[in-house]
Amino acid sequence: MVTMKTINILDVAIHNLSTRDLLDRLNRSGGFVVTPNVDHLMKLRKDAELQEVYRQSDYRVCDSKIVQYASFLLGTPIKEKISGSDLFPAFYRYNKNNPKTKIFLLGAKEGIAQQAQDKINQRVGRNIVVDCYSPSFGFEKDEQECQKIVEKIRKSGATVLAVGLGAPKQEKWINKYKKQLPNVKIFLAIGATIDFEAGYKPRSPQWMSEIGLEWLYRLASEPQRLWKRYLIECMPFFWLILKQRVKKTAKSSVSRICVKSSSVKTQNNCL
């Protein structure tokens, strides 16, 4: 496999891929996909377990226009924003006629995942989503229920597991149980995507997503749940990016001085 280029954003190596390239790679080799955004990057600074999950993931793709803007400021542009809610429908459309692709949906409230399954299958024209499960609150702490879920996924015959439980729960659950699911080749951490696919929650207008204001739409839609995340927890991101930019500029300046100094010494030795 060709080595994938990565972009360093706050010490997280984000793969610089297009959606098409990612879909091609997943169909060839499978893998575990995480989609870092500002919230994830801030959580990663304090959560050692999540850091290990990210290290073990196969693909880390940019799920935020804000993170993409930051990459431009740092002089290492990320070519495309690939959010989970864009990747997942692109994935099932890409595999519309691929009989080997069988998806299991894990997440959302009771009945919502079933609605998403029905709507996706109707769009695709076949039963590409073979089963689903909406777990109870706090299920990740109940090993008996987790094993029940693992067995349900096994029996479904799924080759793809799409988990929409929110970060970092979904990433940690996939990483913990993926070895117990040998028939699943592709693992997708997709956040609120199951809700969007079911029509239970609306996505922001496309223009807001394209200019980096999807967070504002979501905040307006669920202020009580999301105000702390967007207005407090994510705010240090901008200061940290500025620090990374200053550090990178200073390092670049020192390197140029060293190169110039080395060049002058070489010229003097030749005189």
> Mean of the pLDDT values across residues 190-210?
94
Bridge partners of 164, per DSSP, are 107
pLDDT at 268: 56
Q: Tens digit of pLDDT for each residue in 61-90?
A: 999 999 999 999 999 999 999 999 999 999
* HEC string for 58-118: CEECCCCHHHHHHHHHCCCCCCCCCCHHHHHHHHHHHCCCCCCCCEEEEECCCCHHHHHHH
CA 142 to chain centre: 25
Question: Domain map of the chain by residue range?
Answer: 6-201
Bridge partners of 133, per DSSP, are 106
Q: Tens digit of pLDDT for each residue in 3-39?
A: 799 999 999 999 999 999 999 999 999 999 999 999 9
pLDDT at 252: 72
Question: Residue 42 contacts by C-beta under 8 Å, 6 or more apart in sequence?
Answer: 233, 234, 236, 237
Distance separating alpha carbons of residues 64 and 60, to the nearest angstrom: 12
Distance separating alpha carbons of residues 203 and 189, to the nearest angstrom: 17
pLDDT at 271: 46
Percent of the chain with pLDDT over 70: 93
Bridge partners of 161, per DSSP, are 104, 187
> Mean of the pLDDT values across residues 174-203?
97
Domain 6-201: which CATH class? alpha beta
pTM exceeds cut of 0.85: yes
pLDDT at 3: 77
Q: Tens digit of pLDDT for each residue in 225-268?
A: 999 999 999 999 999 999 999 999 998 777 666 666 565 555 55
pLDDT at 255: 66
Q: Tens digit of pLDDT for each residue in 78-135?
A: 999 999 999 999 999 999 999 999 999 999 999 999 999 999 999 999 999 999 999 9
**Orientation angle between helical segments 84-94 and 19-29, nearest 10 degrees:** 60
Pick from 27, 46, 48: nearest CA to 172: 48
> Mean of the pLDDT values across residues 175-185?
98
Distance separating alpha carbons of residues 250 and 233, to the nearest angstrom: 28
> Mean of the pLDDT values across residues 175-192?
97
pLDDT at 37: 97
